[in-house]
């Protein structure tokens, strides 16, 4: 048998083995345009977002929060992506430009940055729905049968193709990505009720008394802020909402409550599309507070963390800065450079100090005789000799003076830094009197 015949037979066999659902999902993702809402400050992160939007905050040693929804899109096969920005967006725009320019415009692939421009009036974005409405002309121009609306500020891995399949198979006008949350936390979410087919029959945004799930009175069924719309249907609803003077122009407060009464809104369970779930743990984190941010970073130092950053089948893409390997120097008595149960990124230099249960981002320099335990240290931080850091978040560019102790005496720390409810100390350049961001 010739090589050509063998090749043809092999192709036929592959077609027979290919699951129809794979082709079905591929067609859906190719006909989808995504818009990531990344314009929020994230005020619960306190001073960490004084000079950057929440989606631009660094996470996990080398990533930024925005990298997770962007990577989910690419890995799902969605390659037409818009990122809507507003609040202090320069670092976010710069990151996306540097790290996400590998898509090919010749194939109608792109990551477009769409800052708030007052395109349709003299006002900035008034709500999540208004942010999409003000860019409705760009979405129409980009085409696509489906519009995927994403929040830009959560950490998770999700195959959006499976959510699109749920949407198409149920003949829905809108589909909402949903997750089970503890009942006491549900006050910060949109809470849904569904029938036996997972059609949404009731919805309440951030209720004061959330309703529990029928089969579990300790949890509520909550919206993840992930939506799939039929494109034409979305445009109709956005235009209708824009002319409603009583509307707050928000998906959770206005769009969803209106359309569930008249149209088909479907729920899609995160458990059906979560990537890399381990032992029934479906990883999704809202790192919207200092405590949640610190805890999510600390989880990554475990021997087997719930979020697998080493997964080559569903990688998290980001801007790869060219840096030398991390370096640990000196092995003297009481002066040994070492790190245990920690993530240490490129460009770091640990000189005769002990780092444990910590996450060090790129370009962190630690001088002699320091002790870091439970430290999340963002890029380009200089730590001088004899410093102790315990249960802290150190913002980018800080210079920690020699001999300083942070996280040891919380009462003293409160006079200068921000101390969270759980005792995590946030330190920024401004708090140290270092004018990194201000005009001198």
Residue positions forming the annotated binding site: 125, 190, 205-206, 223
Distant-in-sequence, close-in-space partners of 97: CB < 8 Å, separation ≥ 6: 113
Rg of the chain (C-alpha set): 24
User: Is 406 within 8 Å of 424 (Cβ atoms)?
Assistant: no
Query: Quick count: other Cβ atoms within 10 Å of Cβ 256?
Result: 23
CA distance 364 to 345: 8
Q: Read off the DSSP letter of residue 275.
A: S
Burial label, 383 (beta-carbon count in 10 A; 0-12, 13-18, 19+): buried
Feature table: binding site for alpha-D-glucose 1-phosphate: 125, 190, 205-206, 223
Strand partners, 148: 34, 228
Q: Read off the DSSP letter of residue 293.
A: H
- What is the DSSP annotation of 376-432? EE-SS-EE-TT-EEEEEEE-TT-EEPTT-EESS-HHHHHTTSEE-TTSPEEE-TTTT
> Dihedral of the CA atoms 242, 139, 81, 269 (nearest 10)?
60
Strand partners, 36: 83, 150
- What is the DSSP annotation of 162-214? HHHHHHHHTT-SEEEEEEEEEGGGGGGSEEEEE-TT-BEEEEEES-SSPPPBT
- Using DSSP's 3-state secondary structure scheme, residue 239 falls into helix
Strand partners, 191: 204, 222
Q: Report helix angle 160-169 to 20-30, nearest 10.
A: 100
Output the six-digit token pair for 197: 């087919």
Burial label, 312 (beta-carbon count in 10 A; 0-12, 13-18, 19+): exposed
């Amino acid at each position: 048998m010739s090589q050509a015949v063998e090749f043809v037979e092999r192709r036929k066999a592959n077609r027979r083995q290919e699951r129809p659902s794979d082709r079905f999902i591929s067609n859906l993702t190719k006909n989808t345009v995504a818009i990531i809402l990344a314009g929020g400050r994230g005020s619960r992160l306190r001073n960490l977002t004084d000079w950057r939007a929440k989606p631009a905050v660094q996470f996990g040693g080398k990533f930024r929060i925005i990298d997770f929804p962007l990577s989910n899109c690419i890995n799902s096969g969605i390659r037409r992506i818009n990122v809507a920005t507003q609040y202090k967006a320069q670092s976010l725009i710069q990151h996306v430009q540097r790290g996400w320019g590998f898509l090919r415009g010749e194939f109608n692939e792109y990551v477009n940055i769409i800052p708030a421009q007052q395109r349709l009036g003299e006002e900035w974005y008034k709500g999540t729905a208004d942010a999409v409405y003000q860019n409705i002309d760009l979405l129409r121009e980009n085409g696509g049968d489906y519009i995927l609306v994403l929040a830009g500020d959560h950490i998770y891995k999700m195959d959006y193709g499976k959510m699109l399949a749920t949407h198409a198979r149920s003949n829905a006008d809108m589909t909402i990505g949903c997750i089970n949350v503890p009942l006491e936390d549900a006050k910060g979410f949109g809470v849904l009720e569904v029938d036996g087919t997972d059609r949404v029959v009731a919805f309440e945004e951030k209720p004061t008394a959330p309703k529990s799930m029928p089969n579990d009175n300790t949890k509520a069924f909550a919206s993840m802020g992930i939506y799939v719309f039929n494109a034409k249907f979305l445009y109709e609803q956005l235009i209708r909402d824009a002319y409603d003077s009583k509307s707050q122009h928000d998906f959770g407060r206005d769009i969803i409550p209106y359309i569930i009464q008249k149209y088909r809104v479907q729920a899609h369970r995160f458990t059906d599309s979560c990537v890399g779930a381990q032992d029934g743990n479906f990883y999704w984190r809202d790192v919207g507070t200092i405590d949640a941010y610190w805890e999510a970073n600390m989880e990554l130092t475990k021997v087997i963390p719930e979020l697998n950053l080493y997964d080559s089948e569903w990688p998290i893409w980001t801007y790869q800065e060219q840096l030398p390997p991390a370096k640990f120097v000196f092995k003297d008595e009481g002066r040994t450079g070492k790190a245990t149960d920690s993530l240490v990124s490129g460009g770091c230099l640990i000189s005769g100090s002990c780092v444990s249960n910590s996450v060090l981002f790129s370009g962190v320099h630690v001088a002699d005789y320091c002790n870091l335990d439970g430290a999340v240290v963002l890029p380009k931080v200089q730590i001088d000799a004899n410093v102790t850091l315990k249960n802290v978040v150190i913002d980018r560019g800080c210079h920690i003076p020699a001999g300083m102790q942070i996280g040891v005496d919380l009462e003293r720390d409160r006079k200068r830094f921000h101390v969270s409810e759980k005792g995590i100390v946030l330190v920024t350049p401004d708090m140290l009197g270092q004018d990194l961001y201000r005009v001198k």
